[in-house]
Structure 1
């Protein structure tokens, strides 16, 4: 039998479409593409959460609601074209009657449901006299610190439309004041993308507004949003539930907010770098002391201490949840040990002084005694995961084995602010393993494993009749073995994507896993996978943020040339060898060498025997990167080989954003 030949293909309602499908249909029952209710096994799993956690402890809810000054009755933000880029209105199902929170349905982990209700609290809040936050207007909080004449803003959200709306709320209730400074705690787009909603580049230049960031901010912002931006953006749709509708059977909180806004992303180059812990800045009469925390939640990150307010900004290092050492959208692995040690340094420097901690996600925490416990327990959580993963890997356990074995101590597990709403112990343990050991588990069978589709086709041929496999999988589904069912049916999907019963049963299994997940990103990933198995990939552009050229304009020639290497298919261009002088009119000259399809470059060098010399402005490089021939003609003067641009751009790849994930 040929590989995959026995895998049947059926229509969406389970009707016959291939060999053996009648037997499969009778055993599998009525598989449909419709969302399903929670099964008994899922209801039992969610009921067990009530026994684990103390739902009568409302301290986090009190913190989340404290200090509310004003909020609109309903919140929905649209861009200039009318596209809704952010909505709290869509989460009205979280509201109960008579001001009481709605009870969790069977289709939601009650702990995540509770977190969603807290993140659904939106509006303008007072953190301390002179410090205010607008929360629930984007994935991130935007913070306004009152100076002598204006506002110092921390982390101006992801989308310009959202930050503009937040600033309008502040102005309406606290009076009109200019922006006199901006601090961006780290280079993730939800912490800087909305900057042009509150200031323009002209404002920054005309009024000498400091844009304060940790050293390395610009380099890492580009690396995340350009080099790997296409793949990260697609995967972020799974992590943040961009393709899902909010609802009891759909999208809830992601643990650090309600999700990702899809408005206009902007960027303004920072003009003030913090390089060392203890550095201070006084902006508009407000003194700030910075603590560098690189390698924690971002490669470049910093906390901020406000001595006159006795207030501690902990960026995204302490956010009332277990965060990610590895984020599902893809990013550099974070250092759990360093994260813990930096929080202990925070405790040593400011723990006896701080009366409130506040940050870029979730809500503040008040009280000196509570803050010490909060910082220490959060540090202990990351240190436990880092240390225990190392303990297990030194005993020869693999990444996957450790992930299924490691569990937080009870004293940490039962705390509401260390719950796994965003990151999880399991995938964070895998991150620690990856940091120290890499992808290889030392089993030589895995050194050069078959690609997923080929493996699936081979194994499917060994398993035999796919309908028999599906019948067994249905029995395991009925027994509540959803992870196994998802794995085996997804293997059949990779062997033959047209196998509709496998797609639908895999979707049903993923759906039940999503209903029981406490982590918002895990729920989103499971439910998005189920949605795409049932209906295919939805390439509607409304699921993407509105891109901005700002981050691209900030790229240096080195960054642009590195990105050229990413875009060039070196295997297709294996016979391409050339040398090009780049005579930038507004930057240093560069020599570009392509050797066997590989892009190399030297700064400050020009070759007399180059194939061609290109005279162009720095931003003229985008005419090459985008293979825009009209822009090339307008911006680039060629001396030498007149066909050089055609040779250079012939094998550039145009990335497809909506690439498949749960099928080949």
Structure 2
């Protein structure tokens, strides 16, 4: 945004794209960056701030003021405490061996709690906090222009509210934030990812549909939880409305509705899934050895898994082949079958996250099959 005081940026780009983002900005306007607003603390939105600081230092001018929700500070502290874990998690989420998570995160200079109204160079900018993919999220509203920068509340795929290896996410609150945005009646919505949306009716549809799919999953999950159903029963009973998943901005290409149901369960019920065997479980290796013995050997479990996978029963196949590999981890033939089962799982999976995680364990199995 151009203002009389300088430019205002909403987010700054990732480590992979920040240089291109800054170059594109400078082709448009060479004015100093006065203010940066983080929509949340994920590195694909914040990493480019360091380039803006470097640019300001080189010009001999003040660095940009960075504003964010207070919880961004907590996030960056957590990132520092779990750098190794985040490197592993991100490498597995995108199936990138050797990935290293960024360090030295650029902290905000100012934080707020619920709402914040700014006047920067004659432009009114309003910030609203909501919980969704993160607990530190902000959406940005320009009331005079009726432009909404939604951050990752809108990402042009199914809401990323269930990521298996990330901290708690907040599907019900995400829906509430989308309803709050819808009530503003924006003329333009600029998503955290994906193309901008023009026109009040289209904006209302995208925001409303996103809220509706999350409200549906939340309502179905809570109804079953209130009846005392286990997580297993909930997972295999709840489904997102197919007409909403068919929308181009709600297709489950990245996250998966089933993962979101797990996150809703965890939000309300904690980690126990309702299966008493999982309350104080035996070590996985002991259970696998016992079941392999009952089956007549780990190789029989693996062969059965291969048959199931070929027949499209990839969920059951994954259980059996993992038991086989855990019972006999040095068996190269079992590892080869394990790799093949996970290839079938990858083919059956629709979400990028699911494909990537299966790919990690397929690569591990291939490596063990050739040792």
TM-score, normalised on structure 2?
A: 0.91
Cα offset for 1:317? Answer: 0.9
| Large movers: runs of 4+ above 6 Å | none
Q: SS where residue 126 of structure 2 aligns? A: strand
The answer on 1:524 being equivalent to 2:361 is no
Q: Would the aligned equivalents of 2:156 and 2:191 in 1 still touch at CA under 8 Å? A: no
Q: SS where residue 358 of structure 1 aligns? A: strand
Map of 1:280 onto structure 2: 117
Cα offset for 1:264? Answer: 5.6
User: Could you tell me which of 22, 32, 35 is aligned with 1:167?
Assistant: 22
Gaps of 5+ in 2: none
User: Could you tell me which of 291, 312, 324 is aligned with 2:128?
Assistant: 291
In structure 2, the CA distance between the partners of 1:336 and 1:471, relative to structure 1 (3 Å rule), is closer
In structure 2, the CA distance between the partners of 1:199 and 1:535, relative to structure 1 (3 Å rule), is same
User: Could you tell me which of 321, 346, 356 is aligned with 2:181?
Assistant: 346
Q: Within 2, Cα distance between the matches of 1:236 and 1:472?
A: 33
The answer on 1:180 being equivalent to 2:34 is yes
Map of 2:234 onto structure 1: 402
Cα offset for 1:149? Answer: 5.6
The 5-angstrom pairing of residues 252-401 of structure 1 reads 265-277=103-115, 279-293=116-130, 295-331=131-167, 333-348=168-183, 350-351=184-185, 354-401=186-233
Q: SS where residue 405 of structure 1 aligns? A: coil
Q: Within 2, Cα distance between the matches of 1:207 and 1:536?
A: 54
Map of 2:94 onto structure 1: 240
Q: Within 2, Cα distance between the matches of 1:228 and 1:400?
A: 30
Q: Would the aligned equivalents of 1:163 and 1:198 in 2 still touch at CA under 8 Å? A: no
In structure 2, the CA distance between the partners of 1:201 and 1:496, relative to structure 1 (3 Å rule), is farther
Cα offset for 1:326? Answer: 2.9
Q: Within 1, Cα distance between the matches of 2:313 and 2:305?
A: 9
In structure 2, the CA distance between the partners of 1:441 and 1:264, relative to structure 1 (3 Å rule), is closer
The answer on 1:210 being equivalent to 2:62 is no
The answer on 1:157 being equivalent to 2:8 is no
Higher helix share: 2
Q: Within 2, Cα distance between the matches of 1:211 and 1:496?
A: 53
Q: SS where residue 17 of structure 2 aligns? A: helix
RMSD of aligned C-alpha atoms? Answer: 2.5
Map of 1:473 onto structure 2: 305
- Deviation string for 1:401-428 (max 9, x for gaps)? 2222211123312212111122211111
1 or 2 for the larger relative contact order (CA 8 Å, sep ≥6)?
1
Cα offset for 1:370? Answer: 0.9
User: Could you tell me which of 304, 320, 342 is aligned with 1:510?
Assistant: 342
Q: Which of structures 1 and 2 has the bigger CA Rg?
A: 1
Q: Within 2, Cα distance between the matches of 1:475 and 1:153?
A: 54
Give the paired residue count.
368
Cα offset for 1:232? Answer: 3.1
Q: Within 1, Cα distance between the matches of 2:278 and 2:165?
A: 24
Q: Would the aligned equivalents of 1:296 and 1:339 in 2 still touch at CA under 8 Å? A: yes
The answer on 1:189 being equivalent to 2:24 is no
Q: SS where residue 96 of structure 2 aligns? A: coil
The 5-angstrom pairing of residues 561-640 of structure 1 reads none
Map of 2:290 onto structure 1: 458
In structure 2, the CA distance between the partners of 1:454 and 1:330, relative to structure 1 (3 Å rule), is farther
Q: SS where residue 151 of structure 2 aligns? A: coil
User: Could you tell me which of 222, 229, 236 is aligned with 2:83?
Assistant: 229
Cα offset for 1:201? Answer: 9.7
The 5-angstrom pairing of residues 428-443 of structure 1 reads 428-443=260-275
Cα offset for 1:212? Answer: 0.7
